[in-house]
Structure 1
């Protein structure tokens, strides 16, 4: 079995690669090769184990597909994308990275099936940014996969468009598409990125490392978060679920919203103080950024997770457990380069 991970040197991609490499099997079959596609050749500090052969393809997604598909591909975990604030600041960047690249990937998978009969499973990482509240249709307090989507950002719109195209390609039988909507992942190690949600990890990570951090939203802001471990568990569970109508199966073509822990920013800061001390909390400066606040407040915070629960998935226990997981996994207390 040959598996591709796009964005495989990113944080979630690296964790996913480590899990697959350590297990050595996917859907009960041995993994022959993991192919990591990323724009950078830099190796992650999250190493896999086991005897799975791993190779790297460096470059733009659309331009790398000929290399990727010179050998048959069985599954693609499509994690690569331009992130929320990037897409809002530069529409063309988002269209190129998220729309053009994903369309090229889906069509490469389709060509493989049409030419060889070998079906590619495409596991697509979508986002809660597909939701939003429209003046004509306010978003309900609790959302589910059946809630009408009215995204309020270019990033959310681009994710929504490809959720629909993947569903249609799956309906037509030219690929096996599975869409997983990720919550805001916290706590991420490393440096802040251009995602609107970057502060969610930053207000925990930097203070624990003895550094200052700016919180651009009010303490009452509600967030739906998931720890890195829960996120990777959810992606793999949806990827390996059998299709069907019975318990524990993946029914229909709807996405799966991963289970969310709903907390306020104030709850997060309280947890930081409990586990890191008053000094850590004092390193967080509250300074509102209307642009960031507008994007993040458009995302839902409460979910009906019946679809994920039916697959055996669950949310993190509480915010203290999320922070404790970060401390355990990154015991040095430093912000990784």
Structure 2
């Protein structure tokens, strides 16, 4: 079993590779190779079988062709540019998030081997004038370029699967928090930084009000679900190959209270509240009242509490002093 992770240099790509390396098998078969590919060569991951690192520009069809060969059984499509970046640079967003996805699907189709393709989408495909709660078959109505690009990817994934070119399954990820590393250009980046930085003894800025509600999942649970998602039987996926990944709805105040419950009062004192109209415009267009019935029925799970998300960060990712 050979697995390719496009976006293998990112937080989730690295954690997914590490989990697969420890697991040693996928879809009932022994893992024989993992390929980590990204626009910049990813960090290596230790495993009892070969792990290759390479560069791949998914916006370049020749680069995609060179990266995906006929021995590839499972392709994780994690590569993308994030929400604020895609909103600021319209052309680049479509080049990578839409055309890049098409390039991957076309290469998978050309192989003729019907590989499993796991596509990470976003809750940004929903928004605007649709009723709450959002369910798996709610009309896609994105209110950002990023959401539109992901919606196009979802439709293509289902169509390529319907035609038998791939065995696709797409998951609309909640906001993943607490993410390790540094802030990125995602509009949701503050949803980790307001916790991560204080936990690391640094100041952080919160650009929204404390009653702002959103839908969250920890990196650990996200990786568990991506592995389970690859193993779902094709006949259980139905006529729409895309679904919401389970998560839980919490307010910013509840996130901070969870941090305080785990580590005490001091980190919360490092948070400054500074409204940012541009960030608020994007994130308030995302609908938070989600009902992910399909993925839960298929065995995917959410965190029990946000205190767990804090503990996972401390166990898995907090830099040593």
TM-score, scaled to structure 1: 0.91
CA positional deviation for 1:276: 2.9
Residues 161-240 of structure 1 aligned to structure 2 (within 5 Å):
161-240=152-231
Three-state SS of the structure 2 residue aligned to 1:294 is: helix
Q: CA RMSD in A?
A: 1.5
Whole-Å separation in 2 of the counterparts to 1:317 and 1:273: 17
Residues 288-303 of structure 1 aligned to structure 2 (within 5 Å):
288-303=275-290
Contact 2:172 2:243 in 1 (8 A): yes
Distance 1:72 1:42, change over 3 A: closer
Name the counterpart of 1:313. Answer: 300
Distance 1:170 1:71, change over 3 A: closer
CA positional deviation for 1:70: 4.3
Residues 251-330 of structure 1 aligned to structure 2 (within 5 Å):
251-330=238-317
1:121 aligns with 2:116: yes
In the alignment of these two chains, the number of paired residues is 319
Whole-Å separation in 2 of the counterparts to 1:106 and 1:42: 22
Three-state SS of the structure 2 residue aligned to 1:100 is: helix
Consecutive unaligned residues in structure 2, runs of 5 or more: none
Three-state SS of the structure 1 residue aligned to 2:290 is: coil
Name the counterpart of 2:88. Answer: 89
Three-state SS of the structure 2 residue aligned to 1:206 is: helix
CA positional deviation for 1:71: 4.4
Name the counterpart of 2:50. Answer: 53
1:132 aligns with 2:92: no
CA positional deviation for 1:42: 4.3
CA positional deviation for 1:312: 1.7
Greater Cα offset, 88-97 or 293-302: 293-302
Three-state SS of the structure 1 residue aligned to 2:288 is: coil
CA positional deviation for 1:204: 0.5
Consecutive unaligned residues in structure 1, runs of 5 or more: none
Whole-Å separation in 1 of the counterparts to 2:6 and 2:68: 13
CA positional deviation for 1:33: 1.3
CA positional deviation for 1:209: 0.7
Whole-Å separation in 2 of the counterparts to 1:122 and 1:70: 14
Three-state SS of the structure 1 residue aligned to 2:272 is: strand
